[in-house]
């Protein structure tokens, strides 16, 4: 396994993270391109949150700019982290209503896909949804459960996060809409979720979600769809860990994708 070329940027003595002109230009390319993709595809709650954040188009925002919006609305903050953090750190941050953000931005050669979540993915993909009470509450509950879970239980909880926070879809009167940051920050996944006849759209069922395998490096073959974003309140109130234990007893569904090829 090769090490990632990406390293999070620390702030300078003035408390500001100083990005290069090229990095600001990459942000501009990413945000202007993706704004065009998510119109009429993102859910209303996301677009409302995005308007609240008022992300600049010409520069990478500072994390304090995001916190000034999030904290008064739902009590959340963003926290600067390295490119990769441990599961213990990840869940502890969420349990403390802090959303981890790695302060690097992808290079132009990785414009369309980057395995590590960069600052564009985290801010554009996720932070607008953290202005919504149901999403904020669900994510906080998820962090508390993960903080106290065993490593095996965390593996099942990861599927819940994947099919909601990252790749969640929503039924609305206007049709299917996106609330998951993994779709919202990716032009390819956004178009695929709406224009391809390959993926399967399933109604959200907690036990099924916990038993559904996924791969991070392919377009998703399965999406789970909520009927209302407020359903996340109801999910947060469920005995999620009891369902995790049921999922452990029943085992995973058969994958709907081929195994990942490993280098020889």
Residue 24 assigned as binding residue: no
**According to the model, what pLDDT value does residue 112 have?**
87
Residue 126 assigned as binding residue: yes
The pLDDT confidence band at residue 262, using thresholds 50, 70 and 90, is low
Whether the predicted pLDDT of 175 surpasses 50: yes
Query: Long-range contact list for 18-27, CB < 8 A, 24+ apart?
Result: 19/59, 19/60, 19/105, 23/60, 23/105, 24/58, 24/59, 24/60, 26/105, 26/106, 26/107, 26/108, 26/111, 27/59, 27/60, 27/105, 27/119, 27/120
**According to the model, what pLDDT value does residue 1 have?**
42
Distances (CA, A) of 263 to 1, 42, 260: 10, 37, 10
Residue 189 assigned as binding residue: no
Whether the predicted pLDDT of 68 surpasses 70: yes
Whether the predicted pLDDT of 28 surpasses 90: yes
Mean pLDDT of the chain: 95
Mean pLDDT across the stretch 149-160?
Answer: 98
**According to the model, what pLDDT value does residue 122 have?**
97
Whether the predicted pLDDT of 9 surpasses 50: yes
**According to the model, what pLDDT value does residue 3 have?**
63
pLDDT in tens, 178-235: 999 999 999 999 999 999 999 999 999 999 999 999 999 999 999 999 999 999 999 9
Structural domains of the chain, with CATH: 21-250 (1.10.800.10)
Pick from 218, 222, 216: nearest CA to 198: 222
pLDDT in tens, 82-128: 878 999 999 999 999 999 999 999 999 998 888 889 999 999 999 99
| 76 φψ region: left (φ > 0), alpha (ψ -120 to 50), beta (else) | beta
């Amino acid at each position: 396994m090769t090490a990632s070329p990406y390293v999070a940027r620390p702030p300078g003595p003035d408390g500001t993270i100083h990005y290069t002109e090229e990095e600001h230009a990459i942000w501009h390319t990413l945000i202007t391109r993706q704004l065009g993709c998510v119109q009429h595809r993102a859910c209303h709650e996301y677009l409302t949150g995005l308007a609240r954040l008022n992300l600049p188009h010409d520069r990478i925002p500072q994390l304090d700019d995001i916190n000034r919006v999030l904290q008064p609305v739902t009590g959340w903050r963003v926290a600067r982290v390295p490119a990769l953090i441990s599961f213990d750190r990840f869940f502890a941050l969420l349990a403390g209503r802090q959303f981890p953000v790695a302060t690097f931005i992808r290079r132009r050669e990785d414009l369309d896909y980057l395995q590590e979540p960069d600052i564009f993915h985290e801010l554009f993909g996720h932070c607008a949804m953290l202005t919504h009470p149901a999403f904020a509450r669900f994510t906080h509950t998820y962090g508390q459960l993960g903080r106290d879970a065993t490593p095996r239980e965390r593996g099942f909880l990861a599927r819940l996060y994947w099919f909601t926070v990252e790749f969640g879809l929503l039924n609305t009167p206007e049709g299917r809409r996106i609330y998951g940051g993994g779709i919202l920050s990716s032009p390819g996944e956004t178009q695929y979720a709406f224009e391809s006849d390959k993926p399967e759209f399933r109604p959200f069922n907690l036990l099924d979600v916990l038993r559904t395998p996924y791969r991070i490096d392919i377009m998703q073959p399965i999406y789970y769809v909520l009927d209302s974003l407020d359903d996340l309140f109801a999910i947060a109130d469920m005995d999620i860990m009891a369902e995790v234990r049921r999922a452990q007893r029943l085992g995973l569904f058969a994958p709907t994708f081929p195994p990942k090829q490993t280098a020889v």
